[in-house]
Amino acid sequence: MIYIHVPFCESFCTYCGFFSVVSRSVDAYADAVCQEIEERREEIAKTLSVNTLYIGGGTPSVLPLDVLSKVIHALPGGDRWDEFTVEVNPEDIVEKGEEYVSGLIGLGVNRISMGIQSFDDGILRWMNRRHDSAKAEEAFHILRRCGVENISIDLIFGLPQLSEALWSETLDKALALGPEHISAYQLSVEEDSALERLIKRGKFTEATDDQCRSQYDCLCSRLAKAGYRHYEISNFALPGREAVHNSAYWRRVPYVGLGPGAHSLSSCSVRSWNSEVIPRRLRDCSIKTYSREEEILTPEDIRIERIMLPLRTDNGLPEAELRSLAGDTTVDLLLSEGVLERSIGLSKDPSIRIPEDHFFTSDDIIRQLI
Residue 205 sits in the same domain as residue 310: no
273 in a domain, yes or no?
A: no
Residue 230 sits in the same domain as residue 357: no
Domain count for the chain, please give it.
2
Residue 212 sits in the same domain as residue 356: no
User: What are 54's strand-pairing partners?
Assistant: 3, 85
Residue 161 sits in the same domain as residue 41: yes
29 in a domain, yes or no?
A: yes
276 in a domain, yes or no?
A: no
For residue 222, the Cα-to-chain-centroid distance in whole angstroms is 22
Last residue of a domain, which of 211, 234, 250? 250
- Read off the CATH number of the domain in which 323 is found: 1.10.10
270 in a domain, yes or no?
A: no
- In total, the chain counts a number of residues equal to 370
Last residue of a domain, which of 230, 250, 270? 250
Q: Please give the pLDDT value at position 202.
A: 85
- Nearest CA among 231, 251, 107 for reference residue 181: 231
279 in a domain, yes or no?
A: no
Could you say which residues of the chain have pLDDT below 50?
Answer: none
- Read off the CATH number of the domain in which 190 is found: 3.80.30.20
Q: Please give the pLDDT value at position 48.
A: 84
Residue 230 sits in the same domain as residue 133: yes
* Residue 259: C-alpha distances to residues 31, 57, 75 (Å): 10, 10, 13
Residue 110 sits in the same domain as residue 188: yes
| Euclidean distance between CA atoms 321 and 347, whole angstroms | 15
Give the structural domain span for 358: 301-369
pTM score: 0.93
336 in a domain, yes or no?
A: yes
Q: Please give the pLDDT value at position 346.
A: 55
283 in a domain, yes or no?
A: no
278 in a domain, yes or no?
A: no
| Euclidean distance between CA atoms 154 and 129, whole angstroms | 13
Residue 245 sits in the same domain as residue 307: no
Query: In this structure, which long-range contacts are made by residues 353-360, counting pairs with CB atoms below 8 Å and at least 24 apart in sequence?
Result: 353/311, 353/313, 353/314, 353/315, 353/316, 353/317, 354/311, 354/316, 356/220, 356/230, 356/314, 359/216, 359/220, 359/230, 359/233, 360/212, 360/213, 360/216, 360/217
Residue 9 sits in the same domain as residue 117: yes
